[in-house]
Each structure stands twice: as structure tokens, then as C-alpha cells.
Amino acid sequence: MSTYKLTTPLTDEDVCKLAIGDVVLLTGTIYTARDAAHKRLVESLDKGEALPFDLKGALVYYVGPSPAPPGRPIGAAGPTTSYRMDSYAPRLHSLGLKATIGKGKRSDEVKAALTAYKAVYFGATGGAGALLSQCIKAARVIAYEDLGPEAIRELTVVDFPLLVINDTKGGELYVKPKID
């Protein structure tokens, strides 16, 4: 298990060297999107419209942050459960999305897309919202402001700690429960 420092946008070379259990300290720009934002992103693609950010080499963080108190760029900002975005993720990966950040298990379709399109799934520690927000230096809403906590935000992160849960080779870090 290795530790890498990576900067955005991510390349094929960046993600293909990663294996499950590796730690990544990420610096650069990431985009927040969760349930309602994903629905709109895919509706835009269906209509042939441009997306609010460039998917090529991008990372999407599944998070709905709490409001920023005075003097801070963002409130608490830990990951939300990823499976709810599983029906959208393969299509976004096919268009260049290099990684998603969340918590919890992914579907077989998402895992297949990670292999097919050279992308990875990162876990961040669920519930560590105050801790993770310390790595977020700037935040601004770039789309769907009416969705409130579910609006798409552009975040500037420094050394954001990530764990490789699913890699490009079909590996998965989560343990299989000991049950028949």
C-alpha cells in the first residue's frame, strides 16, 4: 500500500498506478454532486447540452455540505453514500470522469465502468465532516443553486485524504462479511 500526492485533473497514468488500499492526498479542483444534481446532469446530456464543468480528468465528490459559517469557505463536508449515484456514474465515466469520492459499496456496473474507462472510486471517512472540511480551501456554487445543499460546487482542496476502494483492475477494498 502506497501513498501518492496527486493533482487535478487526473490522467490515465495517475489512476492506473493506483491499487486498493493506497492513500491519495489530492490537491486541486473537485466538483460536488449528489442525487438531484446527477439527475440534472444526465438530463442535460440527453438534451445534448453542455455540462456545468468539464468531465475530462475530473473528480466528483458525493457530498451535500452544511452551510458555511462566517469566516469559513464551507461547513462540514464528509462523503454521502455512493450507491444512490450508481445509475449515473458509468455514463459520466464514459465521458472522461476519472474518479468519484464517496462511501459505501458500488454496483457491478460501476465497477465494470471503472475498468472499461480507466477510473477509480475513492472512499473518504464518512461522518468526518468537520475534519475533511479543513482540507477545503475555497468553495463556490457553479450550477443548480436552487438545489441548496445539492447544488454543484467547485471546491479547491489541498491534501484531501482519500483511500482507493475500487481500482482500474477490478479490485475492491471493502471486507466481505463473514456470513453464510
What are the residue numbers of the active site?
Answer: 38
Q: Does 37 bind other proteins (CB under 8 A)?
A: no
Q: Does 141 bind other proteins (CB under 8 A)?
A: no
Residue of the chain from 5, 56, 72, 137 that contacts other proteins (CB under 8 A) = 72
* Helix H or strand E segment including 94: helix 89-94
Residue of the chain from 7, 43, 56, 67 that contacts other proteins (CB under 8 A) = 67
CB of 94 to other proteins, least distance (A): 25
Q: What does the block give as the cell for 52?
A: 456545468
Q: Does 130 bind other proteins (CB under 8 A)?
A: yes
Q: What does the block give as the cell for 171?
A: 479490485
Q: Does 63 bind other proteins (CB under 8 A)?
A: yes
d(CA 163, CA 4): 10
Residue of the chain from 44, 115, 125, 156 that contacts other proteins (CB under 8 A) = 125
Binding segment for other proteins among 51-59, 93-101, 111-119, 131-139 (CB under 8 A)?
131-139
Return the number of other C-beta atoms located less than 10 Å from residue 170's C-beta. Answer: 11
Residue of the chain from 2, 116, 134, 169 that contacts other proteins (CB under 8 A) = 134
d(CA 46, CA 109): 20
Q: Which of 55/63 has CB closer to other proteins?
A: 63
* Helix H or strand E segment including 50: none
d(CA 29, CA 118): 20
Q: Does 171 bind other proteins (CB under 8 A)?
A: no
Listed residue (84, 87, 82) closest to 99, CA to CA: 82
d(CA 160, CA 44): 29
Q: Which of 95/130 has CB closer to other proteins?
A: 130
d(CA 104, CA 124): 10
Residues that bind other proteins (CB under 8 A): 35-36, 63-69, 72, 75-78, 80-81, 83, 103-105, 123, 125-131, 133-134, 147-150, 163, 173-175, 177-179
